[in-house]
Amino acid sequence: MDVQLLFFRNFGVENMSFIRIKNLVHQFHMKDANGEITEIYNAIDDVSMQIEEGQLIAILGRNGSGKSTLARHLNNLLFPDEGAIWIDDIKIRQEDEENVWNNRKKIGMVFQNPDNQIIGTTVEEDTAFGPENIGLESERIKKLVSDALTAVNMEHKKNISPNHLSGGQKQKVAVAGILALKPKCIVLDEATSMLDPHSRKELLKLVMELNKKEKITIIMITHNMEEVTSADKIFVMNKGKLLSQGSSSEIFNNSEIIKEAGLEIPEIMELAIKMHNKNPEFKTGLFTVMEFANEFERVYNDKRKQE
Ligand SMILES: Nc1ncnc2c1ncn2[C@@H]1O[C@H](COP(=O)(O)OP(=O)(O)O)[C@@H](O)[C@H]1O
Ligand SMILES: [Mg+2]
């Protein structure tokens, strides 16, 4: 293959990502009491990233690092001050309503607070809100709603008022509302952070299933490292910039990045890293005592067999 063709080929592949963000800048204007701008603050500061369809993505970063601002760009709730975003190779254009609307249908958002996302008086009505809003006919809506509620295992609660649901169940209904619009991607912005540990696990399990079975691209935004061990790729944000990107083991084994990003390493993981430093065969990225114990046994038994 000649060099030129090779170049175009690679160039083409690189530009075919599901989501492509290029040199994105988002500014907030700080104003004094008279409304005069006192400071222009780059909440997103020259960020570029690419996300492929079907990936399970994590965006990690401490509070204020710019994660939610970035998420709002994906869902067209905010628009770039500089740079650009392409979804399915189509550039987001604020001035083009149809373009914005089509992108919103592709990427659904689940926010932090379960109580701020419920609109309907019953679970079913709430889930139907999206499809009704885009004017689908009622039989189609019924089917979409029923499928979505089944997917999140909330079909049996369809006639219940969302007020009677737990936080975790409300988040599942929020996911159902998105699923009813047949999205390509779901962005969860700290969606588990107000949930109890059990509901948190349930919601994580649900989104992982949606990723595996329905091939929906998932973008998990969190400051909690424990939630993103199974991500295909992790982006680390710090002070509005993309500090690092890589596989979970690349990121989790990079203690400098973790420190700089101000992320808290779970104790078991720290211990696993210490073991790994003594014996490279010992895996890192372990999060539970059980995982650690299993790995310890594996390495120990392997060693014994060799002796
Ligand atoms: N509406 C806003 N007006 C002014 N500053 C904002 C606004 N929203 C966010 N910011 C600032 O932008 C930075 C990034 O915020 P955000 O994207 O919410 O971070 P994260 O989600 O990582 O906690 C923070 O310093 C925050 O204070
Ligand atoms: Mg946030």
Taking residue 18's Cβ as centre, other Cβ atoms within 10 Å add up to: 19
Domain boundaries, the chain: 3-265, 266-307
For residue 7, pLDDT beyond 80: no
**Closest by Cα among 196, 197, 219, 198 to 207:** 219
- Which stretch of 11-25, 53-67, 188-202, 266-280 has the lowest confidence by average pLDDT? 11-25
Could you tell me if 60 and 263 are in contact, meaning their C-beta atoms sit under 8 angstroms apart? Answer: yes
In this prediction, residue 2 carries a pLDDT of 54
Tens of pLDDT, residues 16-72? 899 999 999 999 998 999 999 899 999 999 999 999 999 999 999 999 999 999 999
Amino acid at 288: T
**Most ligand 1 atoms within 8 A of CB, residue of 42, 68, 190 to mutate:** 68
Find the 65 Cα to ligand 2 centroid distance in Å: 8
Could you tell me if 184 and 57 are in contact, meaning their C-beta atoms sit under 8 angstroms apart? Answer: no
Could you tell me if 240 and 66 are in contact, meaning their C-beta atoms sit under 8 angstroms apart? Answer: yes
Query: What is the average pLDDT across 145-156?
Result: 94
Tens of pLDDT, residues 230-265? 899 999 999 999 999 999 878 887 878 998 999 988
**Closest by Cα among 117, 113, 106 to 217:** 106
Find the 212 Cα to ligand 1 centroid distance in Å: 32
Query: What CATH topology corresponds to 3-265?
Result: Rossmann fold (3.40.50)
Distance in angstroms (rounded) separating the CA atoms of residues 81 and 24 = 8
Tens of pLDDT, residues 69-110? 999 999 999 999 999 999 999 999 999 999 999 998 899 999
Tens of pLDDT, residues 108-144? 999 998 888 888 889 999 999 988 888 889 999 999 9
Per DSSP, which regions of the chain are E strands?
19-31, 37-51, 56-60, 82-87, 90-91, 107-110, 185-189, 217-222, 233-238, 241-246
In this prediction, residue 4 carries a pLDDT of 54
In this prediction, residue 6 carries a pLDDT of 53
Protein residues with CB under 6 Å of any ligand 1 atom: 28, 43, 61, 63-69
- Tell me the ligand closest to 262's alpha carbon: 1
Residue closest via CA to ligand 1's atom 6 equals 28
For residue 303, pLDDT beyond 80: no
In this prediction, residue 267 carries a pLDDT of 84
Find the 36 Cα to ligand 2 centroid distance in Å: 26
In this prediction, residue 3 carries a pLDDT of 55
Could you tell me if 171 and 110 are in contact, meaning their C-beta atoms sit under 8 angstroms apart? Answer: yes
- Which stretch of 183-192, 196-205, 264-273 has the lowest confidence by average pLDDT? 264-273
Q: pLDDT band for position 206 (50/70/90)?
A: very high
Q: pLDDT band for position 174 (50/70/90)?
A: very high
pTM score, two decimals?
0.86
Residue whose pair of structure tokens reads 């310890």 in the numeric block: 296
For all residues of the chain together, what is the average pLDDT?
Answer: 90
